[in-house]
Amino acid sequence: MKNTNPNQMSVFELEKLENPRLSDRDAVRAICDRLLAESGVAPPVNVGLLASMRGIAHIHETAQSPAGMLVHRNGQMVAHIREGDSPPRKRFTILHEAGHTLLPGYVEAPQYRCAGPRTLEEQLCDHAASELLFPRASFAPDLITAGFGTEPIAALADGYQGSIEATAVRGVELWPDDALLLVLRVAHKPAEAGREEQFEPKLRLAWAHHKGSWPFTLRHKSAVEGSPFARALDGELVEEIGTLGDLAADNAGPVRISARRYGAPDRVLAMITKDSTTPSIRARRS
């Protein structure tokens, strides 16, 4: 329920009240743009400073299950982040917790950043973290200069001190053309749970993120042996024209595939755009 007293409204509610035509994501973006301007930070941003400007007095690294937790204790807000996470992931988590301070109800109950289904609130906090960690005023032109692919994204991740996954998601969102990110991992499919010893794990689609018109991607579907994704798992830096193959429910036609192994020996990151020499899916079907 929304607050009716302007003095008790969250920053997000006030933004929506003043600009009712903004989508929830655009309202968060507007707030983050102002916060970045007020802070004067430049990439790689000072996440501690940005968190403090949202009233987070302390940041503690602790052994905990959630990636992050925001609590209100003794009149102060304290962010707890998981000590075992990588520095780039910790930076994103801190800004995710700062994102909670933009939204209603963050004082009344602890806020957690966990794996699993993403509520609208969690999605908006991730969006706030992305807007703050990768300020679009600098990241968008840097992306255009670098180009769309796993090697440029890895370089941008280093420069912005973000994880390669978070940087790739931001790259998809800000690339001017339709773009698709696939993250694959060697794993068993859900139907094999409890019987893993009976089956060989395979390289499977863990999750995807897209902008624009793309066929539905099939989570947990395995990559075909010899495909660009399988060759990337073997250590090849893939840059070629190919297809999504069995990872999609429909044929996307020729696409540009940039894929590489990353983070661990069992993970593959693939960044994909439509082959500019062929019509779009929609055009070919019209």
Percent of the chain predicted with pLDDT > 70: 90
Question: Per 3-state DSSP, what percentage of the chain is helix, strand, and coil (rounded to 5)?
Answer: 40, 25, 35
Q: What's this model's pTM, rounded to 2 decimal places?
A: 0.89
Eight-class DSSP state of 245: G
Mean pLDDT for the chain overall: 90
Confidence of residue 179 (pLDDT cuts 50, 70, 90): very high
User: What is the DSSP track for 161-185?
Assistant: T--HHHHHHHHHHHSSS-EEEEEEE
The two structure tokens encoding residue 32: 């983050």
What is the tens place of the pLDDT at every residue in 22-67?
999 999 999 999 999 999 999 999 999 999 999 999 999 999 999 9
20-34, 106-120, 200-214: segment of lowest average pLDDT: 106-120
Contact 142, 128 (CB under 8 A): no
* Domains defined for the chain, CATH in brackets: 10-133 (1.10.10.2910), 177-191+200-285 (3.30.450.130)
